[in-house]
Amino acid sequence: MAAIEEAKGRDGPDFSALPEGCIATVVSLTSPADTSMLATLSPDFKSACDSDVVWASFLPAGAPQTVSRSSYSLDRHSGKKCIMLSARALSITWGDTPIYWSWTCLPNSRFAEVAKLIDVCWLEIRGMISSGMLSPETHYAAYLVFKITPASHGFEFQPVEVEARFAGDEAGKSWRRFRHAGGSLMLAPAEGSGNYPKERRDGWSEIELGEFLTKEGQDGEVEMSVMETKGGNWKAELVVEGIEIRPKDGK
């Protein structure tokens, strides 16, 4: 009570005098939409509203934030569900063959293991998720979360085919190409779509694989893939953390 009385000013309460944890506790009792609105009130509210503790409180009861094969969260603009599949949750051709892929731990990964490409001529990474695990009536996009090491090679000449679509749909395929940028290789659009990789706040890079729309009552399988199987050239030094599925532009 003393802190609240101290926070009161002539023109109303001065919430800057309240501990951030106190504000976060109150905000966690609202909703994702309310939290996004409250974040605009002041820097103190924004800091509290951006807290992982607040957003974790909005997850469905019993839903883990991070498990060994996937990570769950809510989009902080729309409050809709986001899921990231770890590399271990993906189907990687030759992924368990040590001369082709290795599994390692990186300090800035949310998962215990990431996949590092040693050397392959057949690159095939696939993921699948039930649309019932996502929010209905939502425009989603899937993103490959990756790193390219300075020693990367073999990707320069052949586009990589990517897609994210409902099983059975024909539409959704597009291509990306690895190009030199700043002395290293970068995954970029093959046809100038402007869909370039972006640096994430967690230190990884991401690029969109495709997009799809979930509908109320629909429970189909969403397939995602990254493939280069036609060139025949050997490729190395791509590090894959996983594939993230989240609302497109927060919608």
Q: Which H or E run includes 195?
A: none
* 199 assigned to some structural domain: yes
127 burial level (CB within 10 Å; 0-12, 13-18, 19+): buried
Mean pLDDT in the chain? 79
Query: What is the CATH classification number for the domain harbouring 222?
Result: 2.60.120.260
Alpha carbons within 13 angstroms on the beta-carbon side of residue 104 total 13
Which one has a higher pLDDT value, 60 or 90?
90
pLDDT in tens, 128-153: 999 988 999 999 999 999 998 888 88
Residue 55 clears pLDDT 70, i.e. is over it: no
| SS3 of 39-108 | CCCCHHHHHHHCCHHHHHCCCCCCCCCECCCEEEEECCCCCCEEEEEEHHHCEECCCCCCCCEEEECCCC
Q: Are residues 96 and 216 in the same domain?
A: yes
Q: Are residues 186 and 227 in the same domain?
A: yes
Which one has a higher pLDDT value, 231 or 7?
231
> Cα separation of 142 and 163, whole Å?
9
pLDDT in tens, 5-45: 444 444 555 666 677 778 777 777 776 667 666 767 777 77
Q: Are residues 237 and 133 in the same domain?
A: yes
| Lowest-confidence pick of 50-59, 211-220, 236-245 | 50-59
Compute the average pLDDT of residues 94-111: 94
